[in-house]
Amino acid sequence: MARRFGFSEYDGPVLESLDLYREKSGPEIVSQLFAFTDQGGREVALRPELTPSLARMAGARAASLRKPIKWFTIGESFRYEKPQKGRLRSHYQFNADILGEPGPGADAEILALLVETLLALGLTDADFRVRFSDRELWMLYLQGLGLEGEKAMDVLRVVDKAERRGSEVTREGLRPYLGEAADDFFGKYETLAQIRRFEDLRAFFLAHTSHKAHRDAMAARLDQWESLLSNLDALGVAGCVEIDLGIVRGLAYYTGFVFEVFDREGASRAIAGGGRYNDLVGKLGYGDLAATGFAMGDVVLTDILEEKNLLPKYILAPDVYMISSGEVERMMALSDAGKLRSDGLSVEYALKPTGFGRQFKQAAQSGARLVIVYGSEETAAGQVKIKDLSTGGECSVVRANLREAISRVVSEGISGRDEPQSI
């Protein structure tokens, strides 16, 4: 799916400098990592995610890369934490990011890719919702209340946990920063977290700002919201995206639009999450590079697909399964197997002699589409029989022409029971 959207695949190292994660997420992240000192005395960690590696790699090569940079990867990540439902110490993540484009068009493209990926897996808009919010809008709102810098970030961290902690715990968490105004702020938060229509969102924020410069900044940001929502509508994915300012995402490096994807039944952790991180590349010592992206882990996704009976059964089926009636026929089959394999086909057969019935059962279990039968009567006539298990059709062919016959059958199939033929 990422390739359909014009993304190129990349990969990063499994082992990174521990400072890379400290810079991105803060010193508290260390307790969640497989971190250690290597034989050279360097502090390193197994990657918990790929975004920091991506930022480092793109930052180092930014001058030579065509913008926007659209990269994706599927890689293993590691977290040193207690394994539980929806979270393991090792998992695979699908990451997609756009760097070098600050406008809302990049955010819309990322969200569209995320939605289309979930739909391609068999989920529908009735199964999941993308809860969409904006860190920049929140920061503008907090500035209007006199909260800036680290104090505003502390308030956002409390807001980020409000849904899980409940109202009383959240109020108490806000008091160190807001004092007597904590209850009033929490009431406005509850109102804001329930807004789902953009018109209501615009009205709320413009009603809660009075200073002209601040109001102009708020209006400009809301114009970007309008542009983004128009893009999502044009891309056909707006029905899966829900305005929800209750989503903040706790990591400090997010700077703008943020989002998380949840099962609509609400029974699991987030399926995916992401957002804007315009400052991360610059924090790593490179030039500023606007960026947005998401990560989707395989653990929660697998659980949801399994619950909804959407998890496909993966069978690495051979192209051909060979069945032989005796030792002479078996040697013929082995000789032909080598030739077909050299043509690029996957060929299997029973590794020890066994009855016809058991071999046919093994052929069916293997998932092979074609079976080549080396019976005594066929081989005595210089022929073999090809059976197409997907259609039930079969035909007899001259063994010397087997490779050409298999090529024809693969492309055209066998519609019925044909007479022996020479190809």
DSSP symbols for 214-249: HHHHHHHHHHHHHHHHHHHHHHT-GGGEEE-TT---
Q: pLDDT band at 268, cuts 50/70/90?
A: low
Q: Check residue 146 and give left, alpha or beta (phi > 0: left; psi -120 to 50: alpha).
A: left
The reported pLDDT for the residue numbered 415 is 59
CB 10 within 8 A of CB 57: yes
* In the chain, % of residues over pLDDT 90: 64
For residues 261-265, give the mean pLDDT. 90
For residues 250 and 353, what is the distance between their CA atoms, to the nearest angstrom? Answer: 62
pLDDT of amino acid 267? 64
Task: Tell me the average pLDDT of the chain.
Answer: 90
pLDDT at 189: 92
Averaged pLDDT, 223-231: 97
Amino acid at 321: Y
Residue 148: band (very low, low, confident or very high) from pLDDT cuts 50, 70, 90: confident
- When pLDDT is averaged across residues 43-53 and rounded to a whole number, the result is 91
Average pLDDT of the segment spanning 152-179? 89
For position 253, what pLDDT does the model report? Answer: 78
Cα-based distances in Å from 204 to 160, 163, 198, 263, 384: 20, 21, 10, 28, 77
User: Looking at 298-419, which runs of residues are DSSP E strands?
Assistant: 320-324, 347-349, 370-374, 383-388, 394-398
Strand segments (E) across 245-350: 257-263, 272-276, 291-297, 320-324, 347-349
For the chain, domains (ranges, CATH) are 8-307 (3.30.930.10), 320-412 (3.40.50.800)
CA atoms within 13 A on the CB side of 328: 7
pLDDT, position 284: 87
Which three-class secondary structure state does DSSP give residue 58? Answer: helix
Q: Could you tell me the pLDDT band of residue 55, with boundaries at 50, 70 and 90?
A: very high
Tell me how far apart the alpha carbons of residues 349 and 156 are, in angstroms, rounded to a whole number: 62
| CA separation for the pair 343, 147 (Å, rounded) | 70
How far is the C-alpha of 232 from the C-alpha of 195, rounded, in Å? 18
268 secondary structure, DSSP code: S
Continuous H helices in 308-355: 327-342
Percent of the chain with pLDDT over 70: 95
| pTM of this prediction exceeds 0.85 | no
Q: Tell me phi and psi for residue 147, to 5 degrees.
A: -105, 120
Q: Which pLDDT value is given to residue 269? A: 80
Q: 74 by DSSP, 3-state: which?
A: strand
The stretch 82-109 carries a mean pLDDT of 90
pLDDT given at position 4:
95
Residue 416: its pLDDT value, please? Answer: 54
Burial-class residue 151 by CB neighbours within 10 Å (0-12, 13-18, 19+).
middle
Q: Is the pLDDT of residue 420 over 50?
A: no
d(CA 169, CA 25): 24
Q: Is the pLDDT assigned to residue 26 strictly greater than 70?
A: no
Helix then strand then coil, % of the chain, to nearest 5: 45, 20, 35
- For residue 149, the surrounding DSSP H or E stretch is helix 149-160
Residue 418 reports pLDDT greater than 60: no
